[in-house]
Amino acid sequence: MDVETNIPTSERSGGELPRFRFLTPLTKDSDEKVIIDTWEKIRTQDYAFDDFSRNNPQLFLGGLVQETSFYFLVDDAALAMVQNCWKFSTSVSVHFCVWDRTYPVQKITQAAKECLAWIFNEFDCHRVNALIPEYNTFAQRLATTLRFRYEGSMKEAILYKGKWCDERMYGLLQSHFIKPEVQ
């Protein structure tokens, strides 16, 4: 239990993350050059920012120090950001930022599945959310490939290049992610 927020935290031993096949954790203790290089790559992805967060490295760095947020590099091609993680959380959210458009989509999908499996197993959460701007069709396709369900839109929720845009809500229940075994 986090004593400041009374939010149940993960029961990870010593705060160590498991070994992943497709993901490399990026933390506040990561090499400074890797952190800076990652920010420089993310900031080139205009679709990943609204008008308020664009060119604001403090928001990116803030996620590295929050105990309920996790960042994962996918080779030198993408970053998975997971927020609101605590035991039995109902509001875990995930966001992928892909800067290497030549990177195989199949590998991004495998990394996303590994990330989701970790979230569901580590935090025993019931669902994961993804808020995706209406103009990010790649993210919408990835979400539906991963079995996220479109749940509705928040009208004019984000300001993007001076225009108010809708943000689409997607959700993935643990029971939809993990297919039951047929006996």
In a domain, 87, yes or no: yes
pTM across the whole model: 0.84
- 36 sits in the region (left: phi over 0; alpha: psi -120 to 50; else beta) called alpha
In a domain, 60, yes or no: yes
Task: Please give the angle made by the CA atoms of 136, 137 and 142, to the nearest 5 degrees.
Answer: 105
Cα separation of 101 and 57, whole Å? 22
**Closest listed residue to residue 116, CA positions, set 177, 73, 179, 71:** 177
User: Domain range for residue 60?
Assistant: 21-177
pLDDT value of residue 183: 46
Kindly write down the DSSP assignment for every residue of 111-140, as one continuous string. HHHHHHHHHHHHH--SEEEEEEETT-HHHH
In a domain, 37, yes or no: yes
Contact 86, 8 (CB under 8 A): yes
In a domain, 10, yes or no: no
In a domain, 69, yes or no: yes
Burial 5-33 (b: 16+ CB within 10 A, else e): eebebbeeeeeeeeeeebbbebeeeeeee
DSSP assigned state of 63: H
Question: 137 CB contacts (<8 Å, ≥6 apart)?
Answer: none
In a domain, 4, yes or no: no
Which regions in the chain score pLDDT beneath 50?
1-14, 181-183
Question: 123 CB contacts (<8 Å, ≥6 apart)?
Answer: 10, 85, 86, 87, 88, 89, 92
In a domain, 6, yes or no: no
According to DSSP, the residues that pair with 92 across neighbouring strands are: 128
Domain count, the chain: 1
Amino acid at 9: T
In a domain, 5, yes or no: no
Lookup: tokens for 73 = 């590099």
Q: What is the CATH number of the domain that holds 125?
A: 3.40.630.30
Summarised one tens digit per residue, pLDDT across range 124-174 is 999 999 999 999 999 999 999 999 999 999 999 999 999 999 999 999 999
pLDDT value of residue 12: 39
